[in-house]
Structure 1
Amino acid sequence: MALEPRITLVTLGVADVAASTAFYRKLGFRRSSASNDSVTFFHMNGTVLGLFGHEALAADAGLDAGPAPSFRGVSLAHNLGSRDEVDAAWTFAVECGAKPVKKPEEVFWGGYSGYFADPDGHLWELAHNPFAQLDENGHMTLPD
Structure 2
Amino acid sequence: MVPQRVSLITIGARDLPELRRFYQKLGWRETEMSSDDYCVFETAGVLLSLFPLQELMKDAGMALEERKGFSGITLAINVDKPEEVDQTIETIRSAGARITREPSNAFWGGRTAYFLDPEQNVWEVAWNPTAVFDERGAMIHF
TM-score (norm 1): 0.91
1:88 corresponds to which residue? 87
Matches within 5 A, 1:1-144: 2-142=1-141
Within 2, Cα distance between the matches of 1:6 and 1:22?
Answer: 28
Question: Deviations along 1:67-123, whole A, 9 cap, x unmatched?
Answer: 222211111111111111010001110110111111111112221100011101111
TM-score (norm 2): 0.92
The alignment yields a C-alpha RMSD, in angstroms, of: 1.4
Moved more, 43-52 or 22-31: 43-52
**After TM superposition, where is structure 1 displaced by more than 4 Å over at least 4 residues in a row?**
none
Question: Deviations along 1:18-72, whole A, 9 cap, x unmatched?
Answer: 1111110000111212123321111112421110111111111011232222211
Give 5+ residue unaligned stretches, structure 1: none
Fraction of identical pairs, as percent: 36
Within 2, Cα distance between the matches of 1:46 and 1:83?
Answer: 20
Moved more, 42-51 or 119-128: 42-51
2:46 aligned partner, one-letter code: T
